[in-house]
Amino acid sequence: MLAAGTRYIWVVRLMGPQRVEVHTKDAPMRILSATDTLEAPGILRNPVPVQALFDRKEAHRVTLRNLLQREGYENLEAVLQEGERKGEMKGRKEGRKEKAVEIARAALAKRMDAELVAEISGLSKGEVRAL
């Protein structure tokens, strides 16, 4: 496989100590233990902890990190921060709308013209009529 152009072969040994044999074309085989990380420059963006090949929870953590990065997020915290930012923006927008409705109701209660109320409040004429 290496002669055919494969750059890395990782052989995961499941019997005995947890380890991975790393084979490359022009280098001797290396043996990595469960505390090491696998790297494949130009192929993988992130190093892969050897432990992820043996531990399901660690594999899920590494997979999640890779999926998030594929979508443009560095980590889960970045997703949460974006969600908070979007939520705050939406809340401000809803707050401005509620304030406009409050002002429009007060103006209509003072018998102001609905068209003028719409112009002042920023609400549509239909929204003002619905109040």
Model confidence band, residue 43 (pLDDT cutoffs 50, 70, 90): confident
**CA count, 13 A, side-chain hemisphere, 90:** 6
The answer to whether residues 13 and 68 belong to one domain is: yes
Is the pTM higher than 0.85? The answer reads no
In a domain? residue 44: yes
In a domain? residue 3: no
In a domain? residue 18: yes
The answer to whether residues 54 and 106 belong to one domain is: no
- Burial (CB count within 10 angstroms: exposed 0-12, middle 13-18, buried 19+), residue 73: middle
Structure tokens at 43: 């192929």
The answer to whether residues 105 and 53 belong to one domain is: no
The answer to whether residues 14 and 66 belong to one domain is: yes
Which domain range does residue 55 map to?
Answer: 9-72
- Burial (CB count within 10 angstroms: exposed 0-12, middle 13-18, buried 19+), residue 11: exposed
Instruction: State how many domains the chain has.
Output: 2
pLDDT at 41 over 90: no
pLDDT at 4 over 90: no
In a domain? residue 67: yes
Model confidence band, residue 61 (pLDDT cutoffs 50, 70, 90): very high
Confidence at residue 1, expressed as pLDDT on a 0 to 100 scale: 79
Q: Which of 24, 40, 72 is the endpoint of a domain?
A: 72
The answer to whether residues 65 and 104 belong to one domain is: no
The answer to whether residues 113 and 63 belong to one domain is: no
Q: What are phi and psi of 13, to 5 degrees?
A: -95, 115
Structure tokens at 10: 């990782």
Confidence at residue 128, expressed as pLDDT on a 0 to 100 scale: 87
How far, in Å, CA of 37 to CA of 90, rounded?
Answer: 42
